[in-house]
Structure 1
Amino acid sequence: MRALTVVPQQPGSLRVSELPDPEPGPGELLVQGLALGVCGTDKEIVGGAYGWSPDGADRLVLGHESLGRVRQAPPGSRFQPGDLVVGVVRRPDPVPCGACAHGEFDMCRNGRYTERGIKQRHGYGSELWTVEQDYAVPVDPRLERTGMLLEPTTVVAKAWEQVERVGARAWFDPKRVLVTGAGPIGLLAALLGVQRGLDVHVLDRVSTGPKPRLVRALGATYHTEPAGDVAERLEPDVVIEATGVGSVVLDVMRNNAAYGIVCLTGVSAAGRSLPVDAGALNREIVLENDVVLGSVNANLRHYHQGAEALAKADPEWLANLVTRRVPLGRAAEAFTAGQDDVKVVVTLTGGE
């Protein structure tokens, strides 16, 4: 079979490799890979920033935004050949820590978790892959072309869950949400906000192309002005921050509503300093009962929440999120940004 592989932490090592077909172990599904979403994490691994191969392997099979069709299932499994499935990315650490022991492996306390396509486990970027049936998530048959959006949807499903849990510390009745960043994470966060009946606003730098259209098609409002100006005018009850841009993070923290919640999902690059009046920021957060929290990854509960959200979404809107599809044989093209890219997908069957 063909697989998309890299030598972790070695730039320029991306290639399509020929590997033996996998053999499913006890309790595992054999899955025909259909498509693979490409995200910033994948690009950083390809660029040599990080990534770790499985023990004893030089190369890592890339890919964590999966979609496949079950080819073979164990006897008595809840899955049948032909089912659409997505594979969970993270596995709990073997110790395990308290969080992992309770199924909350997205909150691992000791960092010994592993991740498909990222850390010490081969990913889903191959024509065939296997997955433990307990870490396979069924998706609606209508998501045959967009089911690879489930993994990024789990990220925002967790973010919304965390926001709502924090809000429940007292009376909580949010009306307005600001999402900063109109990439896939931001747009999916906006989708889940609309599904909650909120007044959703999305901020991004671009004024043309698919992003404004996608936001407006949700019934949300699109903004391109400076983050501080937009947040000050809106005073959002909830902010889902998906850019990782330090100045944007600070602007929304300073200008949300009282008893507001800012959830950070974007990862900021190190090495850039910004002047911050830490005392004034601390004063605002304390006196207004504000909360700022970070959220990353997802556990099985969030995968099922995400699958439910995608099943309720407009299929045409989801399809329009995927702005470019690249066959596996030309997968390197998916790692070069296009002007109007939102979500780029590598197709694993058919084509070159």
Structure 2
Amino acid sequence: MRALTVDPKTAGSLQVTEAPDPEPGENDLVVEGLAVGVCGTDKEIADAEYGWAPPGRERLVLGHESLGRVEFAPAASGFETGDLVVGVVRRPDPVPCGACVRGEFDNCRNGRYTERGIKELDGYASESWCVDADYAVTLDPKLEHVGVLMEPTTVVAKAWEQIWRVGERAWYAPERVLVTGAGPIGLLAALLGTQRGLDVHVLDRVDSGPKPLLVERLGATYHHEDMDEVATRLQPDVVVEATGVGGLVFSALRNTASFGVVCLTGVSSGGRKLEVDAGTVNREMVLENDVVVGSVNANLRHYHQAADALAKADLGWLDGLITRRVPLKSATEAFTARPDDVKVVITLDGSR
């Protein structure tokens, strides 16, 4: 079979190669690969900035944003041939830590977890793959064309769960949310915000292309002005920060309403220094009962939340989020950004 593979230690090693057919374990589903999404983590692995091949191997099958169709399911697995499924990314550490043993492997305490397509386990960017039935989740059949958005949706499903849990430490009735960044994570965070009935605002630096239209189609409000100006005017109850840009992070911390929650989902690059009035930030957070929380990855609970959210969403809007589909044979083209890209997807079944 063909697969998109990379040597995580060597930049420029990304290529479509022949790989052995998967060998299912006792509880494994055999799945026909339909599509994988490409995100910043995949690009970092391709640039040899991140990622680990399976032990004893040089090359890693890439792809953690999966979508496939079940070709074989063990008896009593709860799955049937033809089911539309995604595979969970992370696996608990083998020790395991207290979080992993309770199914909260997204919050692993010792870092010994593994991840499909990222850390020591092959990913889903192949024409066929296997997954333990305990780490697979079914999708509504109507999502066949857009279900590859499932994994990034799990990330924001977890983020919203964390926001609500933090807020509900006391009486909580947020009204307005500001999402910074209109990439896939930001737009999906906005989608889940609108599904919660909130007044959603999205800030991004571009003022044309598909992003403003996607926000408008959600019934949300798009902004491309200065962050401090927008946040000061809105005084949001919640900020979902999806860029990782240091200046936006600290602007978010300074500009929430009282009892505000800032959830950081973007990963910042190192090496950039900012001058920050830490005393003022501290004073405002303490006196206004503000909270900042980081959120990454997802567990099975969040996958089911994401599946429900996608099933409720407008299919046309979800399809508009996928701005480019690239066939597996040309998969490396998906790693070169184009001006109007939002989400780029690699198709694995021969279709575009």
The answer to whether structure 1 residue 279 and structure 2 residue 279 are counterparts is yes
Partners in 2 of 1:28 and 1:178 — Cα distance?
Answer: 41
Residue of structure 1 equivalent to 2:179: 179
Q: 1:287 & 1:272 partners in 2: Cα distance?
A: 29
Residue 195 of structure 2 corresponds to which residue in structure 1? 195
Partner Cα distance (1:121, 1:239) in 2: 34
User: 1:23, CA displacement in angstroms?
Assistant: 1.8
Q: Which residue of 1 aligns with 2:288?
A: 288
Q: Tell me the SS of whatever aligns to 2:324.
A: strand
CA distance in 1, matches of 2:301, 2:284: 34
Kindly provide the amino acid, as one letter, of the partner of residue 291 in structure 2. V
**Deviation sequence 1:262-298 (CA, Å, 0-9, x none):** 0000000000000001111100000000000100000
Distance in structure 2 (CA, Å) of the matches to 1:53 and 1:327: 24
Distance 1:9 1:106 in 2: 25
**For residues 208 and 142 of structure 2, what CA distance do their matches in structure 1 show?**
29
Q: In structure 2, what residue type is equivalent to 1:329? A: K
Residue equivalent to 1:228: 228
What residue identity is the alignment partner of 1:234? L
The CA distance in 1 between the partners of 2:328 and 2:289, in whole Å, is 50
- C-alpha displacement of 1:137: 0.4
Distance in 2 (alpha carbons) for counterparts of 1:56 and 1:119 = 13
1:183-205 residue CA offsets vs partner (Å, 9 max, x unmatched): 00000000000000000000000
Aligned position for 1:33: 33
CA distance in structure 1 between the partners assigned to 2:276 and 2:9 by the alignment: 34
TM-score, scaled relative to structure 1: 0.99
**Cα distance, 1:75 vs. partner?**
1.3
Q: 1:257 to 1:62 in 2, by over 3 A?
A: same
Counterparts of 1:47 and 1:113, CA distance in 2 = 22
SS of corresponding position for 1:276? coil
> Is residue 317 of structure 1 aligned with residue 343 of structure 2?
no
Q: Equivalent residue of 1:100, what SS?
A: helix
Are 1:329 and 2:329 an aligned pair? yes
Q: How far did 1:9 drift?
A: 2.3
Alignment map for 1:51-66 (pairs within 5 Å) = 51-66=51-66
1 CA distance for matches of 2:311 and 2:318? 10
SS at match of 1:202: strand
Deviation at 1:27, TM superposition (A): 0.5
Question: In the alignment, what sits opposite 1:346?
Answer: 346
Cα distance in 1 between the residues matched to 2:180 and 2:148? 23
Q: 2:292 & 2:76 partners in 1: Cα distance?
A: 45
Asked if 1:49 corresponds to 2:53, the answer is no
Distance 1:50 1:3 in 2: 19
Structure 2 unaligned segments of length 5 or more: list them.
none
Partners of 2:279 and 2:340 in 1: CA distance: 40
Counterpart for residue 243 of structure 1? 243
Runs in 1 of length 4+ with deviation above 2 angstroms?
A: none
Measure the CA separation in 2 of the matches of 1:283 and 1:78: 52
Q: Distance in 2 between matches of 1:113 and 1:343?
A: 27
State the secondary structure of the residue aligned to 1:259. coil
Secondary structure in 2 aligned to 1:85? strand
Deviations 1:114-163 (A, max 9, x none): 00000000000000000000000000101101111000000000000000
| 2:141 corresponding residue in structure 1 | 141
Fraction of identical pairs, as percent: 72
| Counterpart for residue 132 of structure 2 | 132
Per the alignment, in what secondary structure is the counterpart of residue 270 of structure 1?
A: coil
Describe the superposition over 1:65-114 as per-residue Cα deviations: whole angstroms up to 9, x where unpaired: 00000000001221111100000000000000000011000000000000
> Matched residues in 1 for 2:314 and 2:68: separation?
21
SS of structure 2 residue aligned to 1:304: helix
Root-mean-square deviation over aligned CA pairs:
0.7
Give 1:351 deviation, angstroms. 5.0
Tell me the distance in 2 between the aligned counterparts of 1:271 and 1:76.
52
Q: Which moved more, 1:74-83 or 1:199-208?
A: 74-83
TM-score (norm 2): 0.99
- The residue type paired with residue 195 of structure 1 is Q
CA offsets 1:214-242 (integer angstroms, 9 cap, x no match): 00000000000011111100000000000
Q: Name the CA distance, whole Å, in 1 between partners of 2:9 and 2:192.
A: 35
